[in-house]
Amino acid sequence: MMLENRHSVAEILSRQPLFVGLSEAELQQIAQTTREYRVQKNEIVFQKGESPQGMHLVIMGQIKLAIPSPQGSEKVMHIVNPGQSFGEAVTFLDKPYPLSAQATQDSIVLLIDKQSLLDAIDENPRLARKMLASLSVRLHELMSDIENCALRTSAQKVASYLAQECRNTATDIWTIELGSSKQTLAARLNLAPETLSRVLGQLSKSGIIEVHGRKIQVLDRARLDETAR
Amino acid sequence: MMLENRHSVAEILSRQPLFVGLSEAELQQIAQTTREYRVQKNEIVFQKGESPQGMHLVIMGQIKLAIPSPQGSEKVMHIVNPGQSFGEAVTFLDKPYPLSAQATQDSIVLLIDKQSLLDAIDENPRLARKMLASLSVRLHELMSDIENCALRTSAQKVASYLAQECRNTATDIWTIELGSSKQTLAARLNLAPETLSRVLGQLSKSGIIEVHGRKIQVLDRARLDETAR
DNA sequence: AAAAAAAATTGACGCGCGTTAAAGAAGATA
DNA sequence: TATCTTCTTTAACGCGCGTCAATTTTTTTT
């Protein structure tokens, strides 16, 4: 994939949900101060505490956002996939990054300059609304996350994660392809990898699911939902 | 306190951080579709799952936002004090409330209509930016919350809460007045009330703090910070 | 001021889940 | 294909914190 000129950057931007509806000129302006960067698997994009330069938009690959704990473990806050952005919130405040970003795969990311994003928002109410909606979505996701880690047992966490994934698939065949390693998933659900493994084994034994590596087949949707709550 | 006419509503709005800088006309327009409501202590403002009508702005009293769990317990997500707002995020999405709101004191709240808020944002980029900043702040708060409940022990939770409160006070005398009952604080920190009580007792015994009802005197700031991490 | 209700404290107990350790499976490297 | 690394699974163990229960303190009601 080659992104060597401004034109293609603007084109890519125009395909992002956040930017549809912007005029060609507006896109060009944003594209002008947008730079592309590439990171290899496991490479750190930024550390908690650094100063943000703008909004990141994942084009290819996957970025993991996590809060490192002093004891070495970490809490995975978000897995960012292509088409999604991160670092917006910090752009509207003047604060350092509250978490670290690390690539889980070789990735290509666009970095949209802070100031030109703010300028674009000033001139385009529709963009402002989209940004507001986007932040609101993140806010709701975070609240589900808190709900998850605050008042659910390990089995409930796993079951409700799987149930959520089922809802996201369009088909009626409940096969879930985990988007990340089980380690990472465990961290996202706030579980030790061993616990996740045990819960999956247990759900398999009760005939609710069937696990084949990173593919999980849901056999009994009703009992899955029941386990989730 | 009487708020019976539009003029005073506009005036109150103009004093809210979110609305400073708006023109008189803009304020009047928002005020026109803003209504005041009062709730008594323990009264429910809205339940999880209901449809939102707009943004709530607390004038007097205190509102508790919490996610009820099926087992009857609840996770307190936020305590909203005078001058603060809630329900913005849901205004920019078309989703039901993800949590319930309940007054912990007799309260007076303004309800700003969804549509006129959106209109005001369209016409005023500064307001848009303020809303973005406001949502970003909430987002960061939620992330600290997750950090709190995901990778801290009970003593760390309490200590970091107290340390945070210290930072919020302007003075160098570290006396913290809990803004709510210890039960509610415990729920916010994701602790059983008994655990909170034990931790406070323990911190007292080590000479780090001194507890007098809802007033907490911090005696050893350094060791408090150390306990927090 | 007395009675009732709610909140806070204290102790005993048990369970869920993290920790440690070790072995097996899957992917990467050459 | 063989070796090394990383990921996943399984088992044994222990601790932190929630649960239950009883008492004391504080707040509210009359």
Chain segment B110-152, per-residue pLDDT in tens: 999 999 999 999 988 889 999 999 999 999 999 988 888 888 9
How high does pLDDT run on average in chain A?
89
Query: Distance between CA A109 and CA A87 in Å, rounded?
Result: 12
Judged by C1' against the alpha carbon of A183, the nearest nucleotide is D7
CA–CA separation, B11 vs B34, rounded Å? Answer: 12
| Residue B125 to residue A129, Cβ atoms within 8 A | no
Q: What is the mean pLDDT of residues B185-211?
A: 95
- What residues in B contact A73, CB-CB < 8 Å? 151
Query: Which helix or strand (DSSP H or E) is residue B72 part of?
Result: none
Q: Is residue A111 a contact partner of residue A46, using CB atoms and an 8 Å limit?
A: no
Q: pLDDT tens-digit profile of B74-90?
A: 888 898 999 899 999 99
Q: Which tens digits make up the pLDDT trace of A88-98?
A: 999 999 899 99
For B33-75, the pLDDT digits (tens) are 999 999 998 899 999 999 999 999 999 999 999 888 776 678 8
Closest CA relative to residue B129, chosen from B56, B21, B27: B21
B226 contact A CB<8A: no
**Lookup result for tokens 């960061």:** B140
Residues 6+ apart with CB under 8 A from B145: A146, B77
What is the pLDDT confidence band of residue B211, given thresholds at 50, 70 and 90? Answer: very high
* C-alpha to C-alpha distance for A76 and A141, rounded to whole angstroms: 13
Q: What's the pLDDT score for residue B7? A: 60
DSSP string, chain A: ----SHHHHHHHHHHSGGGTT--HHHHHHHHHTEEEEEE-TT-EEE-TTPPP-EEEEEEES-EEEEEEPTTS-EEEEEEE-TT-EESHHHHTTT---SSEEEESS-EEEEEEEHHHHHHHHHH-HHHHHHHHHHHHHHHHHHHHHHHHHHH--HHHHHHHHHHHHHHH-SSSS-EEE-SS-HHHHHHHTT--HHHHHHHHHHHHHTTSEEEETTEEEES-HHHHHHHH-
**pLDDT for A215 beyond 90:** yes
Average pLDDT of chain B to the nearest whole number: 90
- Residue A75's pLDDT is 81
Nearest by CB to A150, from B70, B71, B149: name it. B149
Residues 7-66 of A with CB under 8 A from B: none
pLDDT category at B196 given cuts 50, 70, 90 is: very high
Distance, CA of B19 to CA of B34 (rounded, Å):
14
Token pair 């509102």: residue: B63
Best A55, A142, A227 residue to mutate vs chain B (most B CBs within 10 Å): A142
User: How many Å apart are CA A94 and CA B135, to the nearest integer?
Assistant: 14
**Bases along strand C below 7 A from a protein CB:** 7-12, 16-21, 26-27
Q: What is the mean pLDDT of residues A173-195?
A: 90
Q: Do residues A116 and A33 make contact, with C-beta atoms less than 8 angstroms apart?
A: yes
Helical (H) or strand (E) element with B212: strand B209-212
Mutation to test the B interface, candidates A67, A135, A152, A229, most B Cβ within 10 Å? A135
Alpha-carbon distance A205 to A223, whole Å? 13
